[in-house]
Amino acid sequence: MSTRDAQHALELFPRDTDGLFAELGLPQYVSKQLLDWVYKKQVQSVEEMSNIRKVVRERLSEALEFRKGKLVKTQNASDGTRKHLLEWESPEKRTETVMIPAKARRTACVSSQVGCPVGCTFCASGLEGLGGNLSAGQIVEQVVSLGADEITNIVFMGMGEPLSNYQNVTRAIRILNAPWGLGIGARKITVSTVGLPAAIEKLAKFEIPVTLALSLHAPNDDIRKELIPWAKFATIKEILKACDTYFKATGREITLEYLLLHKVNDRTAHAKELAALCKTLRCNVNLIRYNEVPDLPFERPQTEQVRRFQETLASAGVNSHIRASRGRDIAAACGQLKRQHITPSIGESS
């Protein structure tokens, strides 16, 4: 019998089953059946695999683990947004994942890390620092927990910096994209990053050309350093150069994420600076109205100011759209549900 640790079933590749089956003395024809049960039918135990012989199921049950995350809490918003708080191994290791409905789309917003190392001053996730990387299986499990059959799009915009967990994130993307996996198209998978030039250039060589979104959030380096501590490691110019490399390698237009904060980065002068940056890159701008976080000093911008900001971009020939706010009544901003569950005084307790 194998002495290997149980492997997360939701990070299996076809090539992984070859070694596993050889070690367990199992026939290779079971491999396709196993992957079908894991990714297409999304069973939660080996015992549910009815077309696999009992003796084979018994061996597989010792080698595979199906659900590592404990669902601590679910919140449902009036607009259909659904948020899960998942616990991995201990109460200190919790992450959030969100299902966002929009017309024909069902988008899963997944976390790549427990907490976040970046420490953005406006973000709830960064308040607690980094608690560790999620495995590829834990990332895929978030999608399955939301109901993978319903999910049409994936965005790595939950807790964590995806490109600082590069190996596990790209492994998860392969599973999410593969025909034998969840079969979600590359164009429907978005990786959002605060801007790590070397990692962006590495992603440009990755075989699956996902959409790249840059969490810019400021029109110049001075403001960006105030909002994003990691901005000290790379200038906007250096980051945009890496993004241009990504565009040239993949042909995929870059999305610039710009979180509008009242009287911080939402003035007309800021819009003009942002427009000038956009002239250096094939991109579109996603304007995001801030969802306020208790205990943080930032405020949601006024509707009229957001409109003026977008008009200023348009007058400069920059394509932008305003992201619809979703899940405000369940604190859907990244990290808020986790904080509420840990500190009931700042929100709803379970």
Is residue 275 within 8 Å of residue 313, measured between CB atoms?
Answer: yes
Q: How many residues does the chain have?
A: 350
Residues 52 and 131 in one domain: no
Containing domain of residue 18, as a range? 7-65
Mean pLDDT value across residues 246-253: 98
Name the active-site residue from 123, 278, 283, 334. 334
- Tens-digit pLDDT profile for residues 117-148: 999 999 988 787 999 999 999 999 999 999 98
Count of structural domains within the chain: 2
Domain membership of residue 56 (yes or no) is yes
Domain membership of residue 2 (yes or no) is no
pLDDT value of position 327? 55
- Tens-digit pLDDT profile for residues 276-328: 999 999 999 999 999 998 889 999 999 999 999 999 999 999 999 998 876 55
Residues 81 and 19 in one domain: no
**Hey, what are 72's tokens?**
């601590």
CA dihedral of 167, 168, 169, 172, whole degrees rounded to 10 = 120
Residues 74 and 57 in one domain: no
Residues 296 and 222 in one domain: yes
Q: Which helix (H) or strand (E) holds 257?
A: strand 254-260
pLDDT value of position 39? 96
Q: What DSSP line would sit under 262-280, residue for residue?
A: TTTT-SHHHHHHHHHHHTT
Residues 27 and 86 in one domain: no
Residues 214 and 116 in one domain: yes
Residues 248 and 310 in one domain: yes
CATH of the domain at 187: 3.20.20.70
Mean pLDDT value across residues 190-211: 98
Name the active-site residue from 11, 87, 96, 257. 96
Residues 255 and 337 in one domain: yes
pLDDT value of position 328? 59
Residues 121 and 27 in one domain: no
Give the model's confidence band at 6: pLDDT under 50 very low, under 70 low, under 90 confident, else very high.
confident
- Tens-digit pLDDT profile for residues 17-64: 878 888 888 888 888 899 999 999 999 999 999 999 999 999 999 999
Residues 170 and 196 in one domain: yes
Question: What does the mean pLDDT of the chain come to?
Answer: 90
Residues 82 and 57 in one domain: no
pLDDT value of position 130? 95
Residue ending a domain, choose from 50, 65, 80: 65
Domain membership of residue 186 (yes or no) is yes
Domain membership of residue 121 (yes or no) is yes
- Tens-digit pLDDT profile for residues 63-86: 999 888 999 999 999 889 999 999
226 among known catalytic residues: no
Domain membership of residue 1 (yes or no) is no
Q: What is the pTM of this model?
A: 0.91
The CA-atom distances, in angstroms, between 185 and each of 151, 179, 190, 198 are: 11, 9, 10, 25
Residues 330 and 237 in one domain: yes
Of 62, 34, 61, the closest CA to residue 45 belongs to: 61
304 among known catalytic residues: no
The rounded distance, in Å, linking the Cα atoms of 98 and 66 is 21
